[in-house]
Structure 1
Amino acid sequence: MITPAYCLTMARYNAWQNRAMQRAMETLSTEDLTRDRGAFFGSILGTVNHILWADQTWLSRLSDMPKPQGGIPESPNICPTLPVWSAERFRMDGRFILWAEALRALDLTGDLSWYSGVLKGDVKMPVARVVVHVFNHQTHHRGQVHAMLTAAGATPDATDLFAMPDAGPWP
């Protein structure tokens, strides 16, 4: 289904897009970042916090990284300010890239089991499908952030994967 090269490309894409979002967010006031915009996680900052929390949660299931505190309801509030989020996001992007660089094809086989707070039960799914979900989740919510940034008057960068500089080998 997927390869380690695909995972590394997507981890790099994720980091590139997060840096672009940060630059656009830095052009806005704290009020603009925290204003409820009717999105599922409320504000721009709430949504990027949720993405960060979800990345931490998924990587804790896929590696030896500790699980973050709280659940989905608390996720929009894990970082109170843009500078705190920026530092945590930088660390998380580095962890994702290191994880992807160390992947072997065998690591993407078999099943992953965990307790899902969303489904209120145990889940078992192929690892490769979980990894695809992680990257899809990031992209889905970044699309929401992109729309909110644009509506707030910021000018987000391109989001197309083919526009990413130094993408490395294509899977």
Structure 2
Amino acid sequence: MNKRYIDYANYNIWANNRLANDLLKQNDELLHKELVASFPTIRATVSHIWIAEKGWLSRLEKNDWDVSDVLNFSGNNKQLFDSWRATSEDFKKFVEKADLEREIKFEHKGEHFSIPTREIIQTVFNHGSFHRGQVVMMMRQLGISDISQTDYIEWVREKERANF
């Protein structure tokens, strides 16, 4: 059962890397340009994806929500992407050894929750896909058209081609 989640972790890393590589080709100021979106800038959107991965990993490993690394981050865009990539790799390492059925119990805003590890993992990866799509739309608003595919099916195709 873990294999499916490990595959999805590998896809998440692949997609994050493709997006980060495309963004690193752009002028740094573009990542700070304000747009109409869920978050005001590309950089803010990427930071939000990183917060979710970092926070949920912290919750899964330590039953804590520690995103201080992200909230206190002041590095340049390359350092941001490198830190985000490192968190995605750490998340994959967690998935490789995770007990997917373990219930994660936590409190948020006065409410108590209990969610299986597998559902949190799935949610984190879906969340990343959702916001990567938003970043692509933001890039298009900025006139950037050379954008790599990050769809799951493209990852599957690329993986299959590599096996031939």
Fold in common (TM above 0.5) = yes
The aligned residue for residue 161 of structure 1 is 152
Contact 2:15-2:151 at 8 Å conserved across structures: no
Q: Deviations over 1:64-90 (max 9, x none)?
A: 4972228xxx85x74542112122022
TM-score (norm 2): 0.83
The alignment-based identity, stated in percent, is 25
The aligned residue for residue 108 of structure 1 is 100
Displacement over 3 Å in runs of 4+ = 77-80
Contact 2:106-2:112 at 8 Å conserved across structures: yes
Corresponding residue SS for 1:140? helix
The aligned residue for residue 69 of structure 1 is 68
Q: Deviations over 1:24-49 (max 9, x none)?
A: 11222222101111222210010001
User: In the aligned structure 2, how far is the partner of 1:40 from the partner of 1:133?
Assistant: 18
Letter of the structure 1 residue corresponding to residue 2 of structure 2: P
Letter of the structure 1 residue corresponding to residue 26 of structure 2: L
Of 44-53 and 85-94, deviating more is 85-94
The aligned residue for residue 151 of structure 1 is 141
TM-score (norm 1): 0.80
1:133 maps onto 2:131 in alignment:
no
Following superposition, the deviation at residue 101 of structure 1 comes to: 2.1
Following superposition, the deviation at residue 151 of structure 1 comes to: 2.1
Q: Deviations over 1:84-105 (max 9, x none)?
A: 21220221122122122223xx
Gaps of 5+ in 1: none
Contact 1:53-1:68 at 8 Å conserved across structures: yes
The aligned residue for residue 31 of structure 1 is 29
CA RMSD of aligned residues (A): 2.3
User: In the aligned structure 2, how far is the partner of 1:58 from the partner of 1:79?
Assistant: 21
Following superposition, the deviation at residue 112 of structure 1 comes to: 1.1
The aligned residue for residue 132 of structure 2 is 142
Of 119-128 and 93-102, deviating more is 119-128
Letter of the structure 2 residue corresponding to residue 109 of structure 1: E
